[in-house]
Amino acid sequence: MSTSNPILSGQWNYPTKMIFGAGTLSRLPELCRELGMTKPLLITDAGLRTSDIVENALKIGKDNDMEIGLFTEVKGNPTGKNVDDGVVAYKNGGYDGIIAFGGGSGLDAAKAIALMVGQDRPLWDFEDVGDNWLRVKEDNLAPLLAIPTTSGTGSEVGRASVITNEEAHEKKIIFHPRMLPEIVLADPELTCGLPPHLTAATGLDAFIHCFEAFCAPGYHPMADGIGLEGMRLVAEFLPRAYKDGMDMEARANMLIASSMGATAFQKGLGGVHALAHPLGALYDKHHGLLNAILLPYVMVKNRAAISGKMEYLARILNLPKTDFDAVLSWVLDIRKELKIPNELSDIGLTDDDAIKIGQMAVNDPSAGGNPTILSADEYSSVFLNALNGKM
Ligand SMILES: [Zn+2]
C-alpha cells in the first residue's frame, strides 16, 4: 500500500498540539505569542548556529516584531554544563519562553533548560529514577515550543531529555511530564538540508524507537499500533528521503514517523538503546548510527521472545515471507542500502570497555523494556558480537 497523500499537512492535539506541514515555520511568532512569549530564546546545537534554517527562524521573528535570542552552546551529546549555561543565558537575557530547535541534541538541551530555569536543585536530582520527577517545582517551567529539524529522535513529543553527565561519563535521562513541549511546529522543509548519512542514521533511530516499543513487554495496544505504522512509513519513505533529500513527500512522512516513534516508546525501549546509551556516553558517537549498527545483533539475541511479533511485523512491511528471518534480512538490506557500517569496529570502537559497557547497559532505564531480561555478561557479549560482526 502506498500512502501518497497530496495534502501532507494538518493540525492535531495528540500527543500534544502539533502544527504539521511544509512552510509552517512562518507561523512561529503567532504560536510563541499563543504561549505567552514576547521574547523567546531559541536553543539549538552548535552545528546549526550559522545555518539557513536558524537564520530564517530569527528573520521570521524580526519581520513580525518578535525579538528572538539565540543560544547554541550545545554539544552533539548535550552535557550538564550545556544545560547550566543555557539557564544562565535565559535568565541574564530576560527571556520569557524557549524555542527548542534542532535534532535530538538541540531539543533535549532546550527541554532540560526549560525545566531548569525554575528549579533550585541540581539537574541530576531529576534523573528518571523512582519518583524523582515529583521534586520538580511545576509552576516554574519556561513555556516551550519545539521545532524538529531531523527525523529521528522524536524528542519534540517526548517528556524526557538525555543529558550526558561528563563527570560520570554517563547519559542520564531527565524526566518530567511537563517537559513535553506545549506546541510542536513540524515543518518538513527544515529537514531537507539533512545530508544522506544523517538522514539514514536518524531515520533508522525512528524505526528502532517503533521497533523496540512494539517488542517491549506489557499491554499497550495504542503504542503498538503507532509503532507498527511508524515502521511501515520508515520502510516506505526512508530510502526515498536518503536518495533525494528534496523529496517533500518522503521528508514529511519521515518527520511524522519520527514523532510516532517517540510517542510509541512511552511503552518502553529495549536492548538496542540500553547499549547505545553507554556507547554514546563513552565514545561520543552518533546515537542513531550506534542503534542502526546494533539492531540486528540485539534482534538475534531476542529471537525466541519476539518471533511471534516478527511474523506480524513482516506482514505489515509486506515482506515475501512472514517470519523472524524475513524481518532480519530486511533490516540487513536496508542498512546496506543506507550505507550503515555492519560492525562497531568500523566506526573505531574497541573491546577495551566491554565489561563496563555490559554493566552500564544493564543499569540503563531502557533495559527494562527488552523482551527478555539480559544480564551484564549477556549485554557484553551482544556488544562484542556487534563489534566484530558476529551475527
Ligand atoms: Zn533513539
Tens digits of per-residue pLDDT, 297-325?
Answer: 999 999 999 999 999 999 999 999 999 99
The alpha carbon of 95 and the centre of ligand 1 are apart by a number of angstroms equal to 31
The alpha carbon of 36 and the centre of ligand 1 are apart by a number of angstroms equal to 32
The alpha carbon of 209 and the centre of ligand 1 are apart by a number of angstroms equal to 6
The alpha carbon of 165 and the centre of ligand 1 are apart by a number of angstroms equal to 18
Tens digits of per-residue pLDDT, 210-261?
Answer: 999 999 999 999 999 999 999 999 999 999 999 999 999 999 999 999 999 9
The alpha carbon of 104 and the centre of ligand 1 are apart by a number of angstroms equal to 9
**CA angle (230 as vertex; 224, 231 as ends), nearest 5:** 90
pLDDT for the residue numbered 2? 53
**CA angle (156 as vertex; 143, 295 as ends), nearest 5:** 155
The alpha carbon of 93 and the centre of ligand 1 are apart by a number of angstroms equal to 33
pLDDT for the residue numbered 169? 85
Residues within 5 Å of ion ligand 1 by Cβ?
205
pTM higher than 0.75:
yes
Question: 68-72, 127-131, 287-291: which range is least confident on average?
Answer: 127-131
Higher per-residue pLDDT: 76 or 332: 332
Tens digits of per-residue pLDDT, 158-184?
Answer: 999 999 999 988 889 999 999 999 999
The alpha carbon of 94 and the centre of ligand 1 are apart by a number of angstroms equal to 34
The alpha carbon of 64 and the centre of ligand 1 are apart by a number of angstroms equal to 36
pLDDT for the residue numbered 57? 98
pLDDT more than 90, % of the chain: 94
The alpha carbon of 96 and the centre of ligand 1 are apart by a number of angstroms equal to 30
pLDDT for the residue numbered 308? 97
The alpha carbon of 163 and the centre of ligand 1 are apart by a number of angstroms equal to 13
* Mean of per-residue pLDDT scores for the chain: 96
The alpha carbon of 287 and the centre of ligand 1 are apart by a number of angstroms equal to 6
The alpha carbon of 162 and the centre of ligand 1 are apart by a number of angstroms equal to 10
The alpha carbon of 61 and the centre of ligand 1 are apart by a number of angstroms equal to 31
The alpha carbon of 135 and the centre of ligand 1 are apart by a number of angstroms equal to 26
Tens digits of per-residue pLDDT, 40-49?
Answer: 999 999 999 9
Residue 181 cell numbers, joined: 513541549
The alpha carbon of 243 and the centre of ligand 1 are apart by a number of angstroms equal to 22
3-state SS, one letter per residue, for the chain: CCCCCCCCCEEECCCCEEEECCCHHHHHHHHHHHCCCCCCEEECCHHHCCCHHHHHHHHHHHHCCCCCEEECCCCCCCEHHHHHHHHHHHHHHCCCCEEEEECHHHHHHHHHHHHHCCCCCCHHHHECCCCHHHHCCHHHCCCEEEEECCCCCCHHHCCEEEEEECCCCEEEEEECHHHCCCEEEECHHHHCCCCHHHHHHHHHHHHHHHHHHHHCCCCCHHHHHHHHHHHHHHHHHHHHHHHCCCCHHHHHHHHHHHHHHHHHCCCCCCHHHHHHHHHHHHHCCCHHHHHHHHHHHHHHHCHHHHHHHHHHHHHHCCCCCCCHHHHHHHHHHHHHHCCCCCCHHHHCCCCCCHHHHHHHHHHCHHHHHCCCCCCHHHHHHHHHHHHHCCC
The alpha carbon of 107 and the centre of ligand 1 are apart by a number of angstroms equal to 13
The alpha carbon of 167 and the centre of ligand 1 are apart by a number of angstroms equal to 23
Q: What is the mean pLDDT of residues 94-108?
A: 97
The alpha carbon of 137 and the centre of ligand 1 are apart by a number of angstroms equal to 28
The alpha carbon of 206 and the centre of ligand 1 are apart by a number of angstroms equal to 7
pLDDT for the residue numbered 347? 97
The alpha carbon of 91 and the centre of ligand 1 are apart by a number of angstroms equal to 31
The alpha carbon of 202 and the centre of ligand 1 are apart by a number of angstroms equal to 8
pLDDT band at 340; cut points 50, 70, 90? very high
